[in-house]
A and B are shown apart, each in its own frame.
Chain A
């Protein structure tokens, strides 16, 4: 019995020594957990590890993921797996978070983040928390708007943290407003300027007498981002407007402007006969529905209807060459600002700015080369290391002994010693 216990102890010690010296040998798989990968990486990199398996019990930071890619390129077969619960759709610890940001093409415009995830998502920047999206909305895909972020914009969902690349703000050229001198011109220019746009204007007052705000330069996309036509009086702009749009410029056609001969060929629709709104009080109806309207008629096949008032089409858009044309049949929008409710001035400004921004020609912003920017960490992990593999998780790490081995050795030695003491031997 004592001999057997002694022999077993020696055998176990020999096994432990063999594991210690041969665990990193060819053909063995080293298993680590992602939560302790940062600590284990130095020994992994220095050992001759044939295969490495990472169990994702926590999100892997980009630097550690890239280190694993380097290890793989050095000849180690790297695989990963995640507990079933962490990849499930509900209550996921490591949900498939994906978030991408875009910037509205208007001065000081918000940053819009499209996000999808299987768990709640919280957004923050370098200063504070910004917004949250519940899982029920995030599963279907949601969009949130935030102001200019300070520092890195991040999203956290479960154990996953994404660093979202925010495009740099585009330098927008001025807006050119053309039409007859009138309240619509005055308040359209004012609304856009108050929202931060640089506005130039050519307003017809009398034959040979335009009121000009800004320069009278050539009409092209190097000078203007958008032309806003308030009515059919396009003046000197008429000869250049189609070329301007085809080069990539934006065109907003308000009220009956689409019937101007110069833009009829590129307008989304004809402007019908002017109609007054059924409810003309701005506080008793949706403001845009209290305005007079030139309903859009004869919509072109390639135009997209965007808004209606009952059976009447009010807004539509289409592409023309590299540019975009937006037609809105509303007339006398200035009444909204002057006669609307307490928030009418701000709402009128925002409405005009959105219309112009939706078609504005904007140069592509410089690409963000930040290596930390990563909107879809799980997708990047799959891209870098391949899909998860089905391997039973093992808590063992590199150069570690099975958890049962040391107690077993101690138990055998203790039993052998107790047996000897029992029979009086030393």
Chain B
């Protein structure tokens, strides 16, 4: 039985390591709510590396402009073509931001154009139920960034499966705290992260 290992993608440009607490927090949530065998620590894998193919779910975030090298682009296309799933979160929560624009371009070049993911998609019911689609973050509700509550996530689909899941909601900030601090929250805001992991492991 394979352990699920949380994988953060390291890319040459930008600040790939801008959310260092997210992996531990999501690993804690997966272990807390499910019986999935999860590795206690995550891994960091270069996007252009063959190591990436050992981890069929990978997480990519940052604030700065993203420019993939030719090797990174080719590896990402191959990774998604074989069934891997990349979760990209804009740490700026800003659709006019440089990460958003450049990441869109790079994803389109490597995998395909991003499109709105319907809020009825299986992702929102794979474990916990999110009847209204992706949960809003405190940054959106406080009007930071582009002062928008983004109603949908975006995705590149391969058949009926998600190859790239793209969020402008800044879950990287929302989930970027030590897992022990969950006890101070009335509602655990990482539950949607569990849905992403369970979806990736079952679809």
The reply to whether A182 and B56 form a contact with Cβ atoms under 8 Å apart is: no
- A275 and B161 CA atoms in complex are apart in Å by 32
From 204 to 235 in chain A, residues with beta carbon under 8 angstroms from any chain B beta carbon are 204-207, 209, 211, 213, 231
- A207 and B203 CA atoms in complex are apart in Å by 20
B interface majority secondary structure: loop
Asked if A203 is at the interface (CB within 8 A of a chain B CB), the reply is: yes
Instruction: Out of A205, A334, A344, name the residue touching B127 (CB < 8 Å).
Output: A205
Asked if A185 is at the interface (CB within 8 A of a chain B CB), the reply is: yes
The reply to whether B1 and A187 form a contact with Cβ atoms under 8 Å apart is: no
Residues of B within 8 A of A184 (CB): 1-2
- A207 and B201 CA atoms in complex are apart in Å by 17
- Rounded to whole Å, the gap between the CB of A351 and the closest CB of chain B is 15
The reply to whether B202 and A190 form a contact with Cβ atoms under 8 Å apart is: no
The reply to whether B36 and A182 form a contact with Cβ atoms under 8 Å apart is: yes
Chain B interface size, as a band, is: 20 to 34
Interface segment out of the listed B80-88, B110-118, B142-150: B80-88
- A224 and B2 CA atoms in complex are apart in Å by 27
- A185 and B56 CA atoms in complex are apart in Å by 12
A211-B126, A231-B1, A345-B81 in contact; A186/B201 too (CB < 8 A)?
yes
The reply to whether B56 and A181 form a contact with Cβ atoms under 8 Å apart is: no
- Rounded to whole Å, the gap between the CB of A292 and the closest CB of chain B is 10
Residues of B within 8 A of A345 (CB): 81-83
- A187 and B198 CA atoms in complex are apart in Å by 14
- A214 and B127 CA atoms in complex are apart in Å by 16
The reply to whether A186 and B53 form a contact with Cβ atoms under 8 Å apart is: no
- Rounded to whole Å, the gap between the CB of B112 and the closest CB of chain A is 17
The reply to whether A338 and B54 form a contact with Cβ atoms under 8 Å apart is: yes
Instruction: Out of A187, A201, A203, A231, name the residue touching B83 (CB < 8 Å).
Output: A187
The reply to whether B34 and A182 form a contact with Cβ atoms under 8 Å apart is: no
The reply to whether B203 and A186 form a contact with Cβ atoms under 8 Å apart is: yes
The reply to whether A211 and B198 form a contact with Cβ atoms under 8 Å apart is: yes
Instruction: Out of B34, B54, B83, name the residue touching A337 (CB < 8 Å).
Output: B83
Residues of B within 8 A of A255 (CB): 1
- A109 and B36 CA atoms in complex are apart in Å by 35
The reply to whether A207 and B35 form a contact with Cβ atoms under 8 Å apart is: yes
Asked if A106 is at the interface (CB within 8 A of a chain B CB), the reply is: no
- Rounded to whole Å, the gap between the CB of A353 and the closest CB of chain B is 16
- A189 and B56 CA atoms in complex are apart in Å by 15
- Rounded to whole Å, the gap between the CB of B32 and the closest CB of chain A is 10
Residues of B within 8 A of A206 (CB): 33-36, 127
- A337 and B82 CA atoms in complex are apart in Å by 7
- Rounded to whole Å, the gap between the CB of A369 and the closest CB of chain B is 39
Task: Give me the 7 closest cross-chain CB pairs, A-B, nearest first.
Answer: A338-B53, A206-B34, A211-B202, A181-B201, A339-B53, A206-B35, A183-B2
Identify 27 residue pairs between A and B in the complex whose beta-carbon atoms are under 8 Å apart, listed by A's number: A180-B1, A180-B37, A181-B34, A181-B36, A181-B198, A182-B36, A183-B2, A183-B4, A184-B2, A185-B202, A186-B200, A186-B201, A187-B83, A201-B202, A203-B201, A206-B33, A206-B36, A211-B198, A211-B202, A213-B203, A255-B1, A331-B1, A332-B2, A334-B2, A338-B82, A339-B53, A344-B82
